Structure formats: structure tokens, C-alpha cells
Amino acid sequence: MKLDRARVRHVNSYRDRPRPDHEGSHTVNKTLLAEFTAREGAEDEVTRLLLEYAQKVREEEGNLAFDVYTKASHPRAYWIFEVYRDEDAFQAHLKAPYGGPFNAALSPLIEEDASVLTFLDPVT
């Protein structure tokens, strides 16, 4: 099953930019790429779980982007581009009550033990 592109928000022009914080110094967004591969036949359930989870994450105060993609040449490979306002917002995301149940439901449906996270830094 392909992702319902109308229900998944894409922010292709997004860039990390240092922003002045309340004390005048600069903060940098927390940006990462989460990757995993759905087991054969589990794509529909993975997509359903991801779309439900994405809706909750996008409502988090510190979330700036949570964009779900599949690799065009390998549709069972999922890539999630995530951006949080700062480290505190990312830590709040990790503590959200719906994260644990999502990961528990996702784990048996993917080939990896867990999502592979790659943290990204802006090129300045």
C-alpha cells in the first residue's frame, strides 16, 4: 500500500536555522531521520500506525516537522524526517505517553530491532 499523500504533510523546503532564544543566544533545531523496513505483508499496518502516530506527534508543541516517506525504489523502506524546536522539545517527545505503545506495536512489524536514528546537523 502506498502512503495516502493527501494525509501526510511534506515540508520539502524546511531548513534548520539558528534562532535567537529568549536570552538572545542561538538555538539549533533537533533534526533526525528515522529509518526502518516493514516486513513483507506488514506495509498496510505499518502505514496505518505511522499515520496515527504522525498526527499525535505533529500536535506536540515543540514538533516542527514529522514527515513520513517510503523509498521510491523500495516501498517497504520507511524514512521519517523529524524536526523539533530544540533538545528539550525532543526529550518531551521521547516522554510522550503514546510513544511506547507505538514502538511496541511497530517492533514486530519491522525487520530491524528498532528504528535506526540518524541525527542531522545543518551545514552553515
Which domains, ranges and CATH numbers included, belong to the chain? 29-120 (3.30.70.100)
Give this prediction's pTM. Answer: 0.79
95 within 8 A of 64, measured Cβ to Cβ:
no
Nearest-angstrom CA–CA distance, 99 and 43: 20
- pLDDT tens across the length of the chain (124 residues): 444 433 333 333 344 444 455 555 567 899 999 999 999 999 999 999 999 999 999 999 999 999 999 999 999 999 999 999 999 999 999 999 999 999 999 999 999 999 999 999 999 8
- 3-class SS of residue 62: coil
109 within 8 A of 46, measured Cβ to Cβ:
yes
Q: Comparing C-alpha atoms, which of 17, 16, 1 is closest to residue 68?
A: 1
Q: How far is CA 29 from CA 13, 57, 88, in A?
A: 15, 16, 10
Nearest-angstrom CA–CA distance, 120 and 1: 29
